Amino acid sequence: MATIQQPAAHTVRRGVQPLRAGEGNSYVWHKLHSLLGIIPIGAFLIEHLISNFQALGGPVAYGKTVEFLNSLPMVHVLEWVFIFIPILYHGIYGLYIWLRGKSNVVYYPWSGNWLYLTQRYTGIIAFAFIIQHVIMERFMGVSLHDHPGAAFYKMQQTLANPWMVAIYVIGMLAACWHFSYGVWLFAAKWGITPGTRSRRRFGFVCVAGGVLLAVLGLGSIWAFVGPKYANAPQNVPISYLNAPAHTGAPV
């Protein structure tokens, strides 16, 4: 048949290009994106949710946590190098990855394919949430670096708006989902779980971890909106924060 006699080499290839064997640097940029998602971003997410969980102990306990974090050496350098820049890179490169993929769950509604899509949506939701969260709470309003005791009240004011509560719950859950499935993906793609069974088992671990993180996050949101500390002070004086053990009752 005529198909065999096609011209051997097209000068301009149509369709998907063949592998550019060994060329370019996209491998490094991709792997950096993947690694940063775990360390430091994932590690920071865990730390952040645990720290925030201290809010359940009240304004003084929360203020102490904030004060401790502020006391870390070169805290401003740390937050740029280990938090802001990695998150910006991960988010922006992640968007670039998303734009180049072509989801097809309509034709292939398989669970892995759904998770692939969900990873993109939870990523953008978490990224948008984190940007607004950092701008509002870190760069605007009372400086928590100078006034750690004001942390509880500041968050409480933000969450006084029910819309903000909804945004926080959605953004926080998206971040937990994105991180837990991200850990699973990391293990699968870096060859840590190369077997079908190991991936399944690790899947349970990631679900459990994700649920735990989500519970921590929801618990801390509850601390700010619940009735227990409804009359939290605007600022807990430094002397209170430095006092050894304190019940946390408002002054």
Partner 1 sequence: MADKTVQLEIKRQASPEAPEMWEKFELAWRPGMNVISAMMEIAANPVTAEGHQTTPIAYDSNCLEEICGSCAMRINGRARMACSSLVENLEQPIRVEPLSKFPLVRDLQVDRSVLFENLKAVKAWVPVDGTYDLGSGPRVFPQQQEANYPLSNCISCTCCMEVCPQFNPATGFVGAATIAQVKLFNNHPTGKVFKEERLRALAGDGGIQECGYAQNCVEACPKQIPLTNAISDIGRDVMVQKVKDWLRG
- Interacting residues toward partner 1 by CB under 8 A: 3, 6, 13-24, 26-27, 30-31, 97, 99-104, 106-108, 110, 112-113, 115-116, 119, 185, 188-196, 199
- Closest to partner 1 by CB, 189 vs 228, is 189
Task: Please tell me the distance from the alpha carbon of residue 17 to that of residue 213, in angstroms, as a whole number.
Answer: 42
- Closest to partner 1 by CB, 200 vs 228, is 200
Crossing angle for the helix pair 43-53 and 196-225, to the nearest 10 degrees: 30
Shortest separation between residue 184's beta carbon and partner 1, angstroms:
9
Task: Please tell me the distance from the alpha carbon of residue 175 to that of residue 132, in angstroms, as a whole number.
Answer: 14
Shortest separation between residue 174's beta carbon and partner 1, angstroms:
18
- Closest to partner 1 by CB, 11 vs 20, is 20
* DSSP alpha helix (H) spans, 37-150: 43-53, 59-70, 75-79, 85-100, 111-134
Shortest separation between residue 106's beta carbon and partner 1, angstroms:
8
- Closest to partner 1 by CB, 24 vs 227, is 24
- Closest to partner 1 by CB, 97 vs 142, is 97
Task: Please tell me the distance from the alpha carbon of residue 193 to that of residue 187, in angstroms, as a whole number.
Answer: 6
Residues 6 or more apart whose Cβ sits within 8 Å of residue 223: 55, 56, 58, 62, 229
Shortest separation between residue 192's beta carbon and partner 1, angstroms:
7
Shortest separation between residue 155's beta carbon and partner 1, angstroms:
35
Task: Please tell me the distance from the alpha carbon of residue 57 to that of residue 179, in angstroms, as a whole number.
Answer: 26
Q: Which two tokens stand for residue 238?
A: 């430094």
Place of tokens 């102990």: 57
